[in-house]
Structure 1
Amino acid sequence: MSRQRLIAFLAALAAIVGLAILVPMSSPASAATCASAWNSSSVYTGGMTASYNNHNWSAKWWTQGETPGAADVWADQGSCTGGTGGTTGGSTCSYPAWAAGHSYVTGDIVRYTNGLNYIATHDNPGYDPTISTWYWSPYSCSGSGGTTGGGTPPPGGFVVSEAQFNQMFPSRNSFYTYSGLTAALSAYPGFATTGSDTVKKQEAAAFLANVSHETGGLVYITEIDKSGNYCAAEPYGCPAGTYSYYGRGPIQLSWNFNYKAAGDSLGVDLLDNPGLVETDPAISWKTGLWYWNTQTGPGTMTPHNAMVNGAGFGETIRSINGSIECNGGNPAQVQSRINAYQSFTAILGVPTGSNLSC
């Protein structure tokens, strides 16, 4: 190679190397943008995302109030930046702090210890906003309510129409009104709104089938034999009287401790006033939904979780009366519940799913 050609070759090589040096190295993938901040009052269903402590999280199934990272229901999707990521999802509005025992009137807005705002939907003597869905609703800066408010039914209405409800209960007592049921739905917004349309209707059918069995087709408001003593030895006692906590309402709420727990959750003093369950249709329906959505009874899961997570109708029976009826205890009673469920799913036009018995 001649000297001139060598010089030209080296010059070209230097130019190529120089250009290579100028090409920027690819930077590591940046963190994802934070999703909307997790809100302890909001209901999340499988696949929904929220950010918490600068991480995005995906809900595995229905959840409300379970902190991402501290509950198995959440799957960590990795770190995130910007967006609305935060720790509680609360707004920055300035409202007075809630005070236990302070009397509030409808329309009062307070800031709770979880960093969220709540508006009083009914006058109350200072009930805790996070356990009362009748007296308080979540409140944002724009004035829009949260997902657990006490005044609005789930978007799109109940999956069971009034005509279908009447078809299911042709001989029902007039106390059990359809409007009372739909008014109660806002207390547990995940009920019959979780999962596919089929799952939503299956859950509604399962709840109403168990209700039908407990009340003889929504005929009985109270149990026939009221002489039983449902006053367990609890520190709060039985202020309404030893024999006052007999079965009432769609799930036949019984025992002083259940009246106490349901009342605390709903923001209504049912321990001192158990009769409200047989005189107020909305409260009566809410006690049934309280048990369905929050109590495992003798089972291992709530009836709500049994239906939305695919465990089947049989597990709802186990959670309601499984210690007496399941495992061969009373197969006729189990079959009665199954028959009602099969009838109601047929009315709603959905399959029953598997695992019907317990």
Structure 2
Amino acid sequence: MGFKTRWRRTASAAVGILFVALLSVLPAQPAAAATGQISGLAGKCVDVAAAGTANGTAVQLYDCNGTAAQQWNVGSDGTVRALGKCLDVSGGSTADGALIQLWDCNGTGAQRWSVSAARDIVNPHANKCLDVTGNTSANGTRLQLWTCSGAAHQKWTAPAAGGPGTPSGFVVTEAQFNQMFPGRNPFYTYSGLVTALGAYPAFAGTGSDTVKRQEAAAFLANVNHETGGLVHIVEQNTANYPNYCNWSMPYGCPAGQAAYYGRGPIQLSWNFNYKAAGDALGLDLLNNPWLVQNDANIAWRTGLWYWNTQSGPGTMTPHNAMVNGAGFGQTIRSINGSLECDGRNPAQVQSRVDAYQRFTGILGVPPGANLYC
């Protein structure tokens, strides 16, 4: 964020990164899941060979038969489970041809899957698709990981209710969110974002379906840039931390000179922004700015607060820029225009534009005009 937010952090090496560690153990069954067969090529089903439960048991294509070996639990946490274990890429490989197997659930990228609207089952860690080896429908054909091609042997019909790809009321499904942020920090949960949306119903809820999706893509593209792909919770340049206290404000900096550094999806910074955001959200962020880095829902709410209510160095809020047709470039101006727009830092602007174009592609809408500032 620029102007009344912070003097821009640099993209220097990560110093003092405050990460939430990746979860190493998943619950026995994910919440909000659907169970059923996953069918694909020639109408055959994803099957656990001989209904085995040993780690490394082959996952294959087989005639659909309704047995437990073909009952897959597609969870909103990105796992796909059968017989109490997870669909897994052998060895955690990201290479074409890596075989698919059953393995103890462990929370690694090798066990994360996203069902797209186009019926691809994608492993975001590898950015590759679940594929039938050799494009053959013979019983026992192994499933593998392969570069997504859109071919028939990569198309699947999976249980939808509650699982990846299921609309939550937000125009971005969880599957699409995971596709946008394959390496995100677990702190930035989809559920935290969806819950936070309740405070700003106009966000991604105004205008045509195209405009709604464009606004969601625009918000998430700027978030992507600010956080390095939803990786960083706090500003990485710790040398900047003491710079965000404006002592001319009557309330001062009660949390300390260096307490108001960038946090959350839009990297909220400066004591006056913490005061204003806290007042709007009913939270004492001035005295406890650490809430933004410790609570995912609060973090998302501060980002949406800025997007929907603040103009920053621009002339309009980012929300208004998207719903009134001013274009994506004006969202950049409102967030960090004083340091990036009008030729000041074209590489940073391009980073935001690239993400926006990628995200509108995922959502199936054109990016519109006026992409640059």
Interval containing the TM-score (normalised by the shorter chain) = 0.5 to 0.7
Amino acid at match of 2:320: N
Show the counterpart of 2:231.
219
Alignment of 1:126-205 (within 5 A): 157-205=169-217
C-alpha distance in 1 between matches for 2:186 and 2:288: 22
The question of 1:255 aligning with 2:270 is answered yes
Measured against aligned partners, the alpha-carbon deviations of 1:142-176 in whole angstroms (never above 9, x if no partner) come to xxxxxxxxxxxxx9710000000000000000000
C-alpha distance in 2 between matches for 1:272 and 1:205: 33
Structure 1 segments of 4+ aligned residues over 4 angstroms from their partners = none
Q: Which sections of structure 2, spanning at least 5 residues, go unmatched?
A: 1-166
**Equivalent in 293, 307, 312 of residue 292 of structure 1:** 307
SS of the aligned residue for 1:355 comes to: coil
C-alpha distance in 1 between matches for 2:343 and 2:171: 33
C-alpha distance in 1 between matches for 2:368 and 2:236: 33
C-alpha distance in 1 between matches for 2:366 and 2:252: 45
SS of the aligned residue for 2:290 comes to: helix
Q: Using CA pairs below 8 Å that are at least 6 residues apart, which structure has the higher relative contact order? A: 2
C-alpha distance in 2 between matches for 1:280 and 1:312: 31
Amino acid at match of 2:345: N
Show the counterpart of 1:339.
354
Measured against aligned partners, the alpha-carbon deviations of 1:259-309 in whole angstroms (never above 9, x if no partner) come to 000000000000001000000000000000000000000000000000000
**Equivalent in 263, 276, 294 of residue 279 of structure 1:** 294
Q: Report sequence identity in percent.
A: 77
Amino acid at match of 2:328: F
C-alpha distance in 2 between matches for 1:273 and 1:162: 30
The normalised TM-score by structure 2 is 0.54
Alignment of 1:89-108 (within 5 A): none
**Equivalent in 238, 251, 269 of residue 284 of structure 2:** 269
C-alpha distance in 2 between matches for 1:215 and 1:290: 17
C-alpha distance in 1 between matches for 2:350 and 2:328: 11
The question of 1:206 aligning with 2:231 is answered no
Measured against aligned partners, the alpha-carbon deviations of 1:223-278 in whole angstroms (never above 9, x if no partner) come to 11223221002100111110000000000000000000000000000000100000
C-alpha distance in 2 between matches for 1:226 and 1:253: 15
C-alpha distance in 1 between matches for 2:318 and 2:198: 18
**Equivalent in 237, 244, 247 of residue 252 of structure 2:** 237
- Structure number, greater radius of gyration: 1
C-alpha distance in 2 between matches for 1:222 and 1:315: 25
SS of the aligned residue for 1:186 comes to: helix
Q: Which sections of structure 1, spanning at least 5 residues, go unmatched?
A: 1-154
Amino acid at match of 1:232: N
C-alpha distance in 2 between matches for 1:284 and 1:356: 27
Conservation of the 8 A alpha-carbon contact between 1:173 and 1:218? yes
SS of the aligned residue for 2:244 comes to: coil
C-alpha distance in 1 between matches for 2:239 and 2:361: 38
C-alpha distance in 1 between matches for 2:239 and 2:255: 14
RMSD: 1.0
Measured against aligned partners, the alpha-carbon deviations of 1:52-97 in whole angstroms (never above 9, x if no partner) come to xxxxxxxxxxxxxxxxxxxxxxxxxxxxxxxxxxxxxxxxxxxxxx
Give the total of aligned pairs: 204
SS of the aligned residue for 2:239 comes to: coil
Residues 281 and 156 of structure 1: CA distance in aligned 2, closer, same or farther (over 3 Å)? closer
Conservation of the 8 A alpha-carbon contact between 1:318 and 1:326? yes
Amino acid at match of 2:215: E
